[in-house]
């Protein structure tokens, strides 16, 4: 009988770690957990890393960097790493864990010793932009503006508490200094030559997300139509299980995919005004976090999800 691969989630008690743990029942793996009383003990964590085939890091950025250094000290016994923080999403030597990024990306993830799990907002933005740039429809210097709204569950303990108590805020724009930590990730992996303007927001709902990108069709290449944009997206994601290109809808609810690991892409176009809005709808904790991690775990270990 073949032994199941062993996974250690460093940061198992956090939102993303808990989501990954719940989803691991879909894979033939063994989860190695440590006593919660010792979850910050370096020696215990290092032993857990040495016992694992794959370590998933669900930690703040600086703690994640420290964990990678700890893994490096294991030499030949070092496990493969999947990092869920923002620390390594643009770092050399790390493969970006968005399997749908390009036709070759899933294979790159399969063989990578170190994979960075994508951010929730970048997952939607990159899924919409990268196929258009690869197809030559959008110039890499196009002045991209990205608007997005997310459920509050991805904002950490303080945000969750603020929204779950009576009288929590209905809607908030944030990141208005235009230095959100996801911008560099979108900039690089979407293939943009010009830094995008990104305006995130949080709604008074727990899970769900919509990323939207307005476009002037006359500023794209080749006199394209909304139908051309839909065709370009559909062609990229035809055989994908988790990303679906759907017809335009006059109204979208951000909460519709809460609890799902799928993502929906749409092109909402007006042929008379020559304008369009691209939208990506997903669960910020699903395809935007734990669901994406499960995809990457399955690829890295050569497993099939149940």
Residue numbers annotated as active site: 120
**Residue whose entry in the numeric block shows the structure tokens 């940061």:** 11
CA angle 27, 33, 37 (to 5 degrees): 155
**Residue whose entry in the numeric block shows the structure tokens 């857990």:** 48
Q: Residue 119's closest CA among 281, 296, 284? A: 284
The stretches of 178-255 forming alpha helices (DSSP H) are: 183-189, 226-236
Q: Structure tokens of 298?
A: 């399955």
Give whole-number Cα distances, 24 to 57, 63, 120, 261, 306, in Å: 15, 23, 20, 13, 10
Asked if residues 262 and 287 have their Cβ atoms less than 8 Å apart, the reply is yes
Asked if residues 32 and 52 have their Cβ atoms less than 8 Å apart, the reply is yes
Q: Residue 83's closest CA among 111, 118, 114, 57? A: 57
Cα gap 297→72, rounded to integer Å: 20
Cα gap 233→135, rounded to integer Å: 10
């Amino acid at each position: 009988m073949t032994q199941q691969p062993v996974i250690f989630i460093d940061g198992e008690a956090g939102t993303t770690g808990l989501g990954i743990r719940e989803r691991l029942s879909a894979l033939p793996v063994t989860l190695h957990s440590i006593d919660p009383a010792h979850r910050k003990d370096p020696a215990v964590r290092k032993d857990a890393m040495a016992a694992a085939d794959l370590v998933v890091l669900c930690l703040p950025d600086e703690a994640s960097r420290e964990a990678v250094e700890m893994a490096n000290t294991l030499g030949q016994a070092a496990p493969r790493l999947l990092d869920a923080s923002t620390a390594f999403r643009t770092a050399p030597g790390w493969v970006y864990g968005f399997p749908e990024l390009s036709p070759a990306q899933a294979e790159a993830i399969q063989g990578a010793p170190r994979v960075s799990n994508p951010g929730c907002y970048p997952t939607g933005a990159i899924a919409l932009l990268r196929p258009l740039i690869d197809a030559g429809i959008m110039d890499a210097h196009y002045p991209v503006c990205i608007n997005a709204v997310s459920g509050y569950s991805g904002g950490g303990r303080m945000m969750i508490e603020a929204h779950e108590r009576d009288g929590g805020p209905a809607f908030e724009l944030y990141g208005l200094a235009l230095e959100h930590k996801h911008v560099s990730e979108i900039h690089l992996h979407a293939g943009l030559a010009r830094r995008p303007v990104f305006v995130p927001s949080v709604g008074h709902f727990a899970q769900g997300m919509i990323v939207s990108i307005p476009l002037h069709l006359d500023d794209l290449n080749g006199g394209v139509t909304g139908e051309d944009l839909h065709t370009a997206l559909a062609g990229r994601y035809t055989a994908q299980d988790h990303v679906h290109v759907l017809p335009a809808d006059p109204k979208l609810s951000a909460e519709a995919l809460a609890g799902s690991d799928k993502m929906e892409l749409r092109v909402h176009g007006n042929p008379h005004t020559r304008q369009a809005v691209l939208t990506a709808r997903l669960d910020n904790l699903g395809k935007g976090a734990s669901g994406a991690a499960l995809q990457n775990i399955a690829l890295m270990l050569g497993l099939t999800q149940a």
